[in-house]
Structure 1
Amino acid sequence: MRDEKETGIGCESAPVRFPTKIAVLLRDDLESWQRLNVTAFLVSGLGTASPEVIGEPYADADGTAYLPMFRQPVLVFEGTKETLAAAHGRALSRSLPRAVFTSDLFGTGNDRDNRAAVRAVGKDLLDLVGLATYGPRNAVDKVLKGARMHP
């Protein structure tokens, strides 16, 4: 584990640089509402598989409690269908935690049907429109090769 001086975590005045990265890769032909929907669904899975990405609960000056959120930024990228398929393969080969969103999920309306739609297609044939992953910065950067930051 890296110490607090290197990451800045726990040092009030030091800039925070995380040794890990949370990233979402979206297909570049999605409508705006689809991009938002896909991103929200994808990131919801990361905290369950990797609880260390979740920070402490929030509270305002009046003591009103709020839910904890990710402890670090979520970077959003975009790429072609081919870029997404390649990133999926690289995330699998590196055994990184990942969430997927396929085009079929736009036609479902609940978790049970979502899972059935993904389960019905082999990993190499998924029509991916989004992928979220988390892991060491350099590994996530390699997964995202060919993608560009979302505008």
Structure 2
Amino acid sequence: MEPDTAPVRFDTKIAVLLRDDLESWQRLNVSAFLVSGIAAANPDIIGEPYADADGTAYLPMFRQPVLVFAGNKNNLLNMHSRALSRGITVSVFTSDLFSTNNDRDNRAAVKSVTGDQLDIVGIGIHAPKNVVDKVLKGARMHP
């Protein structure tokens, strides 16, 4: 049986939008947290486990690419609003979460502020491609 070499196409898109004024360590931390929420809410987008030629097993990962974008504070607020207006549940990371160190305190920090007052530094989104493109219109790929 010949291996399947047809291009793989996806109906959905996974994207992370980060505020462009974050430090490098913050970008990495925020990205990891945001995609963990996407994975938890969408187990069907996780691929099969990996194994090397020696038989060592590795954890499965997303079965499709994760695109990372950057924007300023206003971009994030607008894109957050666009996503919510389309009924998309997003993962969110606020500046307050840099001073907490556990899930309970993270959730409490987000809950303590109304949605329009969140100091959003990153959002994660998984939705049909055309919807993600509309939500992220105006964002640029992360450098």
Q: Same fold (TM over 0.5)?
A: yes
The alpha carbon displacement at 1:97 in A equals 3.3
Distance in 2 (CA, whole Å) between partners of 1:30 and 1:14 is 39
The alpha carbon displacement at 1:94 in A equals 1.4
For residues 36-70 of structure 1, give each alpha carbon's deviation from its aligned partner in whole angstroms, at most 9, with x where no partner exists. Answer: 01001110011111111101111111111111100
Answer 1 or 2: higher relative contact order, Cα 8 Å, separation at least 6: 2
The one of 11, 14, 27 equivalent to 1:22 is 14
Counterpart position of 1:137: 129
Counterpart position of 1:73: 65
Distance in 2 (CA, whole Å) between partners of 1:80 and 1:86 is 10
The one of 27, 30, 33 equivalent to 1:41 is 33
The one of 90, 97, 115 equivalent to 2:82 is 90
Asked whether the 8 Å contact 1:46–1:97 carries over to 2, the reply is no
Give the number of equivalent residue pairs: 141
Q: What is the alpha-carbon root mean square deviation over aligned residues? A: 1.0
Distance in 1 (CA, whole Å) between partners of 2:4 and 2:85 is 37
For residues 85-130 of structure 1, give each alpha carbon's deviation from its aligned partner in whole angstroms, at most 9, with x where no partner exists. Answer: 0111111111223100000000111111000000001111100000
Q: Structure 1, unaligned stretches of length 5 or more?
A: 1-10
Which stretch shows the higher mean deviation, 141-150 or 92-101? 92-101
The amino acid across from 2:18 in the alignment is: L
The one of 113, 116, 119 equivalent to 1:127 is 119
Distance in 2 (CA, whole Å) between partners of 1:96 and 1:136 is 10
SS at match of 2:88: coil
User: Which aligned runs of 4 or more in structure 1 are off by greater than 4 angstroms?
Assistant: none
TM-score normalised per structure 2: 0.95
Distance in 2 (CA, whole Å) between partners of 1:71 and 1:113 is 31
SS at match of 2:15: strand
Q: Structure 2, unaligned stretches of length 5 or more?
A: none
